[in-house]
Amino acid sequence: MSRSWFRLTVLAAALAAAAGCGPAGGGTLSRGTAPPSAASTAPRSTVPPGTAAAPGVPRPAHTLVVILENRSYGQVIGNPAAPFINSLARRGALFTNSHAVTHPSEPNYLALFSGSTQGVSDDSCPHSFRAPNLAAGLLAAHDSFAGYSESLPRTGSEVCTAGEYARKHVPWTDFTNVPASVSKPFTAFPAGDFARLPAVSFVIPNLCDDMHDCPVATGDAWLKTHIGPYATWAMTHDSLLIVTWDENDGSAGNQIPTIFAGQQVKPGRYGGLITHYSVLRMIEDAYGLPYDGHAAVAPPVPDIWKQGGASGQAR
């Protein structure tokens, strides 16, 4: 084992431990009642919310985050079954040292959305939290957020499962400080007019199209059809697309593909360590928000911006 891989493994383990992966809040809580573990011990930034990006991080007109499932970096990058994703990686910033926080799925979604796993260590449902999170931060700053979930029965639904829909992959439904109206079925996604998107939005494909239950090729084809037009539009409309995975296939290191593409992104391969907390930190920097939970101490996303940025170099 190389020293660099040993250091990476230790750091990734430390980040996972810091996430607060204790017992789950339980599957019988009613909405509006937080479990004892919901109060995160993670640090909370005192930076006041606003509209200006942090120095070196541009504020995109729109940021769209797509989360896929259960694939390692090597299962996707360079895989001929994923031609669209690999073309996106060549057009944008590919992070070659991106790692999920833990296993299984649900705590990773919570980490990316709120800077903490909220004490959840399984895929149980339902949960109810009052902790700070990205959507609540954006709305408090008079910005906008929406989550678009494929196969969600209707706007604001709190159902745990419905066909190929799984609430465990839709973290905003678990927070009482996020209005139910921002949780929308993917049929509401403004495919014909991306300027109608909120400042920040998430897209959650269903259990087949996110690669959880279906092959890499299925997810790649879904992305090309449904997200490819936005990727092209973002390149000329000062906007950003982030494609990432919740966790890998269970292999050592929990390494996942993560790709940023957009008009302000400097294409290249970037080797600096990032996690879900790093991605949340970058979004909060871009929109002038306080850091939620462990985003405050996460490794920052390297300088991938054409206008200059914080730290790190393409290689």
Give yes or no for residue 169 having a pLDDT over 90. yes
Which of these, 270, 212, 265, lies nearest to 77 by C-alpha position? 270
> Which stretch of DSSP H or E encloses residue 260?
strand 258-262
Compare 289 and 24 and report the one with higher pLDDT.
Answer: 289
Angle (CA) 12-64-107 rounded to 5° is 35
Is residue 314 classed exposed, middle or buried when 0-12, 13-18 and 19+ CB atoms within 10 A define those classes? Answer: middle
Cα 60 from Cα 294, distance rounded (Å): 23
Mean pLDDT of 174-199: 97
In the three-class reduction of DSSP (H, G, I as helix; E, B as strand; rest coil), residue 283 is classed as helix
* Percent of the chain at pLDDT exceeding 70: 80
pLDDT of residue 52: 54
Whole-prediction pTM: 0.85
Tell me the pLDDT tens digit for each residue of 82-130: 999 999 999 999 999 999 999 999 999 999 999 999 999 999 999 999 9
Cα 49 from Cα 240, distance rounded (Å): 21
Q: Which domains does the chain have, with CATH numbers?
A: 3-21+29-297 (3.40.720.10)
pLDDT of residue 46: 35
Give yes or no for residue 224 having a pLDDT over 70. yes
Mean pLDDT of 180-196: 97
